[in-house]
Amino acid sequence: MVINILFKENYPFSSDNAKNITQIINKSSLTGSEIISKDNYFYDNKNNPMKFMNKYYRMVFISEGFGGQTANNVVSRESYYPVNSEVPKYYISEIIYNNDNFPIEIKKISKESNNVISKTLIEYQ
pLDDT for the residue 90: 96
3-state secondary structure of 31: coil
Strands 103-110 and 7-15: unpaired
Burial class (CB in 10 A: 0-12, 13-18, 19+), 61: middle
Mean pLDDT, the chain, whole residue set: 85
What tens digit of pLDDT does each residue of 36-95 get? 899 999 999 999 998 988 888 777 777 666 777 888 999 999 999 988 999 999 999 999
What is residue 78's predicted lDDT score, i.e. its pLDDT?
96
The Cα–Cα gap between 59 and 53 comes to 10
